[in-house]
Structure formats: structure tokens, C-alpha cells
Amino acid sequence: MAVKVLFLIIFFTVMILIGVSTRKHAHNVEGFVLGGRTAGPWLTAFGYGTSYFSAVVFVGYAGQFGYKYGISATWAGIGNAMIGSLLAWRILGRRTRVMTKHLDSRTMPDFFGKRFESRSLRLAAALISFTFLIPYTSSVYNGLSRLFRMAFDIPYGVCVIVMAALTCVYVILGGYMATVVNDFVQGIIMLFGISAVIFAVLHNNGGFIQALTTLSEYDSDLAVTSGMHGAFTSFFGPDPLNLLGVVILTSLGTWGLPQMVGKFYAIRDEKAIKAGTIISTLFALVVAGGSYFLGGFARLYSGNAAILNPDGSVAYDAIVPTMLSGLPNILIGIVIVLVLSASMSTLSSLVLTSSSSVTLDLIAQINKKMNEKKQLITMRALLVVFIVLSVIMALNPPTFIAQLMGYSWGALAGSFLAPFLYGLYWKKTTKASVWACFISGVGITLSNMAFHYIASPINAGAITMAAGLVIVPVVSLLTPKMDKKTVDDIFECYNATVTVEKRYSLEEDETEEEISEEDEENRENAV
């Protein structure tokens, strides 16, 4: 217990010190929200990765999908790295940074308002962000409950309140820079932590080959693979179609999440984007790939009463804590800090995105006389409000809290992904198509929550995003276009002057030197 408590004290102390040391970057709105757009590749890449992977992924999704799909759940982690990180940085990174700087846009709703010249679009996007980011924030706490009960035997509520209070302190002090610097520290912990945990869990099960052999003896109870032996160690697992839905939602979904795309707004320059792409992809491979790979061995614990609900059903959130319960105390301490790191980094990014969006895109649009000082005060006050709301919801979670993240991702990415992507690349994207996508994303999500016509919230989210990618171009072709000159002025930002350095070969340099020496000799002879 002393080791675990010591780890926590060191962790929390470092977080607060970083908040204090980054205060100088948060004296104006640009600094508080985007860190003055000066974040380098390491800070941005780790900030992107740690905002991506929270306790929901490590504890909830890894346990749930690992139990359902076995080793093939690792495809979700690979998809997160290739689609959610590599392609996201390649396709969105540079264009987002260039166009948002050109439009002086600080948030995703602000981008929609200025790109499509619509104040009502900006307000609608801000309302969607606020509505669906708060339940997402609450779901971040959910992965901590069983883990802390296992490690410390302390009430879940105490953990939630302490974690929320500390996050609140360092974000209020340092804003965006405090968030990304802490994300960098937390990311290093996550990299080492997940590697150590995988090694220890496999060791406890007789090593990798023995664990895989034991897992192959479990038969799938799904109709699509009924009777198949070794389904949980197969390449695509027992249910490839639903696994594809998981990959799409958890990978492509990041392209439309405000707290993720916002990282591209703040990165420093072109060179930082190229380096950040590589760093972010490798980070995702280790953390996401490792988490889902670890969860793939969940069936090895299916006989353990600790992972069962009173009615005999599997408690997915209890699987990973049960896998970790037999580890040495020092490793459990590392895991606690790992999960706290994943959760606090995501939480800080979410509340900063929520408070800045509501302040700049709702309140400041209604109260036009609101100066920068008042905006900063309002953002800090709303940070506290949002954290309190998320704590209240986390302490009294609805029965569907585990599914709530899927609904939140589906609504946010279903509404924002397509119009944001097309808005960066396609001049013919219309305001009406953005409205259509907003209505589709929120409409499908809310109606499915009420009527459950798509059984899985994961698949519902994936369908919502895919629908948006079709709706935007179709509606854009059928509705009035924006003023051509206005659109051309917006896209002019991509036409930058590039300076090319001319390089000379070594042979050319030597030839020039020989000619110069010969000329000098001729001049001397002439004299």
C-alpha cells in the first residue's frame, strides 16, 4: 500500500507543478485555448494520443472487446494507429493548421461558423459539443471504479472527486500548455506501463505460447462461428462484421471529435506536423494495440467469479482489474498511475474543449461586448462547472454509462467529421449540407437511443459517420453554392510561396575551384 500511495503522491505533485510552471502561457485567450499555436511535435503527438486513449479504452473497451473477439481485438488497436492516428495526421493535420490560422479559428464550432459564414451553424455546433462531451467526460471516470476498489479498497467517489479536483487545478492554471505538457509526462507513463502489464499478465498465464494455447481451447458461443474451435485465436475472430464496426468507430471517429482535431490547431509548423505524425502513430500502436492485445486474453479469466454480475452475466469492466489483481504491488502501482494518466489527460482535454467552445461560440456570440479578460474568467469558471457536472453524472451513472461513450462518439463524429473534412478540401461544400449532417448525426443517435433499431451503439456510431460522408456531397450538389470569391479567398491560404535551396555536387564545387585558380594564375602572368 505504501508503494501505491507513494506513486500517487509523486504523480499528483508533478501534475500541479506543471500547471504552475505553464501559467505564463495562459494570459490571453489564444494562449489559454491553443498555447499560442507553439506546441512542438512531441507535445502535440502525445497530447493527441493521451486524449485518444482513456480508462474507457484500457479498462472498458479492452475487456469488453477482448472477451468478445479474442486476439483479433488487436485489430482495433491497429486501426486506431493507422486510421485514427497516421491517416488523421496525414489528411487533416496540415490543412487544419493552415486554414484555422487563416480564418483565425480557435474551436471546431468557430471553424464551421467562419468557413461557411454562418453564425447559426457555429451556435448549433457548440450546442452539440456541449451536449455530447459531458456524458463522454463522465464515462472517463467509469473505468476507474473497480480498479481503485481492487488496489486501495477505497470508495469510488473519493477517487473521482480527487481526480477531478486535481485536473481542474492544473488546467485552470496553465490552460492548453499545462494540458499538453502533462499529457507528455502521462504518455511516457502509459508507454512503459502497458508494456510491463502485458509481460506480467502473460507470465502469470504460463507465457505467450501457453496463454495462446489455453485460449484456443475456448469455443465461441456466437451463431456466426458456432462450433468453431480456436475462434478466439483466429485472424478475424468469431465475429468479423461487428469487429469492423468497432474499428471504424474507434478509429475514424477521432477525425470528428473536437478535442482531438483541436490538437492540430495548436501545432507549431510544417516540420512539427511531419514528426508528430510518426510519433503519434507509434504511440497508438503501443498503447492501443497493447491494450486490446491484453484484453484478447480475457477468456482465460472466464471462470473467475470476480468478472460476473449477480445474474451470471459478464461484467466487462471487471475483466482487466481482475487480470491485474494478481500482479506484484509495484506493478499495480504502475497500473494505477497508468489508468489515472489516461483518464486525466482525456478529462483535461474534454473540459478545456467544452469550456472554450461554450465561452467563445455561445456566450461571446450573444454578448458581443465581452472582452478578452472576461472571456478568460468565463472559461475558467466553466471548467469548474463542467467538471462538477461530469462528477455528478459519474457518481450517479445511468445504467447505460458503458454504452454512452459509443453514443457520444457517434453523435459528435457523425455530425462533425464529414463537414469538417469536406470543408477543408472541397470548395463546393455548402452550408445546407453541414446542417443536413448535423441533423443526421444527432437524429440517428437520439432515435437509436430511444428505439434501439441498431442493436449495438458501436455499429450505430459507425453507420452515423458513414452516412455523413455520403450526405454532405449529395446535399452539396443539390443546394446553392457559396459565393465563389469568398470560397477562393478562404482556400487561398493553401497557396504558399515555397523557397527551394539549390544544391551543388562536390564535383561541380571542385571544378569551380580549379577554374578560379586557373584564372588567378592567368591574371598574375598578365601582370
**Domain annotation covers residue 293:** yes
* Distance in angstroms (rounded) separating the CA atoms of residues 419 and 421: 6
Helices and strands (H and E) in the chain: how many: 25, 0
pLDDT in tens, the chain (527 residues): 677 677 778 877 887 888 788 777 777 888 888 777 778 888 888 888 888 887 677 777 888 888 889 899 999 999 999 999 999 999 999 999 999 999 999 899 999 999 999 999 999 999 998 888 877 777 777 666 656 666 666 677 777 787 788 888 888 888 888 888 888 887 888 888 888 888 888 888 889 999 999 988 887 766 556 566 788 888 888 888 888 888 988 899 889 999 889 889 888 888 889 999 999 999 999 999 999 999 899 888 887 777 777 877 887 777 887 887 777 777 777 777 777 777 777 778 888 888 888 888 888 888 878 888 888 889 889 888 888 887 887 777 654 444 667 788 889 999 999 999 999 999 999 999 999 999 999 999 999 988 888 887 778 888 999 999 999 999 999 999 999 999 999 999 888 655 545 554 444 444 444 445 555 555 555 55
pTM of the predicted model, to two decimals? 0.83
**Domain annotation covers residue 510:** no
Instruction: Give me the DSSP letters along 412-451.
Output: HHHHHHHHHHHHHH-TT--HHHHHHHHHHHHHHHHHHHHH
**Domain annotation covers residue 478:** no
Number of domains in the chain: 1
Cα dihedral sign, 510-511-516-521: positive
**Domain annotation covers residue 496:** no
Crossing angle for the helix pair 431-451 and 457-478, nearest 10 degrees? Answer: 150
* Distance in angstroms (rounded) separating the CA atoms of residues 203 and 200: 5
**Domain annotation covers residue 519:** no
* Distance in angstroms (rounded) separating the CA atoms of residues 49 and 51: 5
Residue ranges making up the domain that contains 73: 2-24+42-392
**Domain annotation covers residue 515:** no
- Nearest Cα to 149, choosing from 285, 336, 373, 8? 336
CATH of the domain at 143: 1.20.1730.10
Contact between residue 471 and residue 416 where contact means Cβ atoms under 8 Å apart: no
* Distance in angstroms (rounded) separating the CA atoms of residues 460 and 449: 10
**Domain annotation covers residue 108:** yes
Question: Please, what is the Cα angle at 180 between 378 and 29, to 5 degrees?
Answer: 30
Crossing angle for the helix pair 258-266 and 329-358, nearest 10 degrees? Answer: 80
